[in-house]
Amino acid sequence: SSGIQIMAIGVGKATNKRELRDIASDPDSEFVFDLNSFSALQAIKYRFADIACGGNMGKTMHLCCLRLKIFES
């Protein structure tokens, strides 16, 4: 295993769910996000940050989130 995790995020009604599942790492329940609108990204930002920061949201959360700029308004 390379240690790389791939998230697939689809936005809108025309997303190809099978393609999202094929792109994302397993399990799909953790790495596939099928959203209705771009504003729905706010609802998954903490999960996204947790995955991107290697599941270490405690000590490194602030630094990681700054790099990702995920918490900017």
Q: Please give the span between the terminal C-alpha atoms of the chain, in angstroms, as a whole number.
A: 36
pTM above 0.85, yes or no: no
Tell me which of 1-5, 19-23, 31-35, 52-56 is least confident: 52-56
The better pLDDT of the pair 47, 1 is held by: 47
Using CA atoms, how far apart are residues 17 and 60, in angstroms rounded to an integer? 32
Predicted local confidence at residue 73, as pLDDT: 46
Residue 61 has pLDDT above 70, yes or no: no
Residues 6+ apart with CB under 8 A from 41: 9, 11, 35, 48
Task: Look over the chain and give the mean of its residue pLDDT values, rounded to a whole number.
Answer: 78
Q: Is the pLDDT of residue 21 over 90?
A: yes
Distance, in Å, from the CA atom of 66 to the CA atom of 73, rounded to the nearest integer, reads 13
